[in-house]
A and B are shown apart, each in its own frame.
Chain A
C-alpha cells in the first residue's frame, strides 16, 4: 500500500521495559510526525522530523522518550523504562516538505496501541 505504515499494531509489555515503535512514511514525504492519543482524547504532538533532523521535539513528555529517523525515511520512537501512564496509541503521520509558514496535509498511519502492564 501507499499509506503510512506502523509496526507493531499492538504491543503489550511490562512496566520498566523499553519499547521501540516503527513508522514507515509515504514515499517521497520528507516530513514525519509522531503523536500520542490517550483513550478518549485528542492527539498530542510529540516530535516533528524534516528529513533526518528534528527541529521540534518539544512535545516529548520526558527524557525517557526519544526518536530518530534515518535515510530520510523510516523513524523509530523509543520509550525507555516504560510506565503505566505511557499506555496510549502512538500515531505517526507524514507530509510533503513543511517548511516555515507552509502547512502541508498530514496523513496518518493506523498507530501502535501500547499497553503497559
Chain B
C-alpha cells in the first residue's frame, strides 16, 4: 500500500518568514494529495489539495508543489502568522478514496 513520509517533524519559524514542509510517497499510481491543518482538540481541516495533472497550486499565503517524477510534494506557507501554528498532515490517494497520511509536522510560529 501507499507509504507517505513527512519531514521535518517539527519546524520553528519567525513570524513573517516562510515555512516549507516536504512529503514523499511510494505509490506512483497516487493522483490526489491533500494537506490538512490540525489544531489541538480539533479534527484535521483541509487547507489545500492538488491533483497529479498540475504541478503547483496556490491559495493566498499557501501553495503546494508536486513533483511526480521524484514522488514528492511540498506545502509552502508565506508570511507566517501565529495562527499558523498547528500540526500539518500531508496525505496521498490513488483513487480508491483511501487516504494514506504522513505522521504530521508541528509548526511553531514565533512572534
A residues at B contact (CB < 8 Å): 4, 31, 33, 35, 40-45, 48, 50, 56, 59, 91, 95, 98, 100-111
Contacts and interface: CB of A to CB of B under 8 A. Distances in A.
A33 B46 CA distance: 15
A76 B100 CA distance: 22
Contacts of B104: 40-42
A48 B100 CA distance: 13
Given A42-B104, A103-B31, A31 B46 contact: no
Nearest to B100: A45
B95 A42 contact: no
Interface of B: 4, 6, 31-32, 34, 36, 41-46, 49, 51, 89, 91, 93, 95-104
B49 A42 contact: no
Contacts, number: 66
A41 B44 CA distance: 13
A56 B43 contact: no
Contacts of A104: 97
Nearest to A95: B97
B99 A106 contact: yes
A45 B99 contact: yes
Given A105-B49, A108-B45, A111-B43, A56 B96 contact: yes
A105 B48 CA distance: 9
Given A91-B44, A103-B32, A108-B44, A43 B101 contact: yes
Given A41-B103, A43-B89, A107 B97 contact: no
- List of 3 A-B pairs having minimum Cβ-Cβ separation, nearest first: A103-B32, A108-B43, A42-B101
